[in-house]
């Protein structure tokens, strides 16, 4: 009976694969097809039903060991998510995303990473390959110094870079000490190629930092141990609120001259943050916002007001209660990563925290599998730990999960 329940719970993984693959294609690739919105809504509903079906099976299996506090917190947060869903322009997608985030912590994160790597790898290789063969039209924009910025077959030129950023982080965390020099070189070349074509700096710089760190760690036989230093333990544990506070400071409290220099380096993102706060303000439970981005002809709107920062976008749309809860959950996830000595995971989460200061993908599961860790504080788990047991290998450290 227990085995049959476990087999039924595993239905989540193929559903996650199909949903993730379609969501990436539907939301990032420069193609359109009939019934895409209908299919997206149907897959959102299937994902939600699958998640709650699996949750019922897991609860039934561990009924005697479930913490009442966990249940209470989960129910309250679920009610809160349903309440603020009134602010969303796409209700089914919002509910699917946060059902996945809240319940995803009950599933094997190592398998989640593997599935994410498969469907993201298929999309990146397939779309870029078809773009090179002129089967998918690229979107071309002129960047600084009159340089052409190609979308490589995606519907916006940054999308390939953002997908590759999270693919790189997921791959390095998944492989950890098992990674080869050839794999590291391939990741490096892929990032260089995408950066050369898209000129998207933030994900490129952060990806290269992680790749070079792993290169050095491998050369030194994985003897680098950042977590033996107290300063890194504190930094890794509170990196998300630290980045949030830094973002507030550089947006609102810098001298005007320094602000303008940083704003120019960040392609106007800081001024868009200020415009967002001036236009809509902050509400306790958020508000419905429709950002003005592109015209019907695909040109940038004269009234462009999109807030790129994950922190500020969620603060404006979902409210300060929501962003407070998310920051607390990130602290719990990061502190447990530190406690379980998951160095590569700590680095990946820190890079995501920095990346999210200026890009909006932090809580979007078809970009990032790491947001599914936010559900692990509510995980129905007998040993009450947030991370799976590490595999012990004869060579080096390993941060994969069983």
Give the residue-averaged pLDDT of 116-120. Answer: 98
Supply the pLDDT for residue 204: 97
pLDDT band at 365 (very low <50, low <70, confident <90, very high): very high
Q: Does the residue 125 lie in any domain?
A: yes
pLDDT at residue 382 is higher than 90: no
Q: Does the residue 303 lie in any domain?
A: no
Give the residue-averaged pLDDT of 353-374. Answer: 96
Q: What is the dihedral of CA 392, 397, 401, 402, to 10 degrees?
A: -10
pLDDT digit string, tens, across residues 68-100: 888 889 999 999 999 999 999 899 999 999 999
Domain count, the chain: 1
Q: Does the residue 175 lie in any domain?
A: yes
pLDDT at residue 400 is higher than 80: no
Supply the pLDDT for residue 323: 98
Supply the pLDDT for residue 388: 42
Q: Does the residue 308 lie in any domain?
A: no
Supply the pLDDT for residue 223: 86
pLDDT at residue 395 is higher than 50: no
Q: Does the residue 311 lie in any domain?
A: no
Q: Does the residue 264 lie in any domain?
A: no
Pairwise pLDDT comparison (292 vs 263), residue with the higher score: 263
Q: Does the residue 348 lie in any domain?
A: yes
Classified as helix, coil or strand, 179 is coil
Computed over every residue of the chain, the mean pLDDT equals 88
Domain that holds residue 74: 2-240+318-378
Q: Does the residue 214 lie in any domain?
A: yes
pLDDT band at 21 (very low <50, low <70, confident <90, very high): very high
pTM for the complete prediction?
A: 0.91
């Amino acid at each position: 009976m227990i085995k049959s329940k476990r087999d039924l719970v595993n239905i989540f993984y193929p559903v996650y694969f199909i949903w993730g693959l379609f969501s990436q294609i539907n939301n990032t690739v420069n193609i359109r097809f009939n019934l895409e919105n209908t299919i997206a809504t149907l897959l959102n509903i299937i994902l939600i039903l699958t998640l709650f079906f699996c949750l019922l099976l897991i609860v039934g299996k561990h009924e005697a060991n479930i913490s009442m506090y966990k249940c209470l917190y989960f129910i309250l947060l679920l009610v809160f998510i349903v309440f603020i869903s009134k602010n969303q322009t796409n209700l089914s997608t919002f509910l699917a995303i946060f059902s996945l985030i809240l319940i995803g912590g009950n599933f094997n994160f190592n398998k989640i990473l593997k599935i994410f790597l498969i469907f993201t790898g298929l999309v990146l290789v397939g779309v870029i390959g078809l773009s090179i063969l002129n089967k998918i039209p690229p979107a071309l924009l002129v960047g600084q110094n009159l340089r052409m910025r190609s979308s490589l077959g995606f519907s916006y030129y940054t999308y390939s870079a953002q997908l590759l950023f999270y693919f790189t982080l997921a791959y390095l965390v998944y492989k950890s000490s098992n990674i080869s020099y050839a794999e590291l070189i391939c990741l490096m070349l892929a990032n260089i190629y995408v950066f050369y074509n898209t000129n998207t700096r933030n994900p490129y710089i952060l990806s290269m930092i992680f790749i070079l760190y792993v290169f050095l760690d491998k050369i030194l036989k994985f003897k680098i141990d950042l977590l033996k230093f107290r300063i890194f333990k504190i930094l890794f544990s509170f990196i998300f609120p630290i980045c949030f506070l830094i973002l507030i400071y550089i947006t609102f409290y810098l001298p005007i001259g320094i602000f303008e220099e940083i704003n120019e380096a960040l392609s106007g993102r800081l001024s868009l943050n200020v415009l967002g706060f001036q236009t809509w303000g902050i509400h306790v439970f958020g508000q419905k916002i429709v950002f003005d981005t592109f015209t019907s002809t695909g040109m940038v709107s004269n009234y462009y007001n999109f807030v790129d920062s994950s922190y500020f976008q969620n603060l404006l749309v979902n409210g300060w209660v929501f962003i407070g809860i998310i920051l607390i959950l990130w602290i719990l996830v990061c502190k447990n990563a530190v406690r379980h000595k998951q160095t590569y995971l700590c680095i990946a989460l820190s890079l995501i925290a920095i990346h999210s200061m200026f890009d909006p993908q932090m809580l979007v599961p078809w970009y990032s599998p790491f947001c599914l860790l936010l559900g692990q504080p509510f995980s129905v788990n007998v040993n009450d730990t947030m991370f799976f047991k590490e595999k012990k290998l004869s060579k080096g450290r390993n941060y994969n999960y069983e």
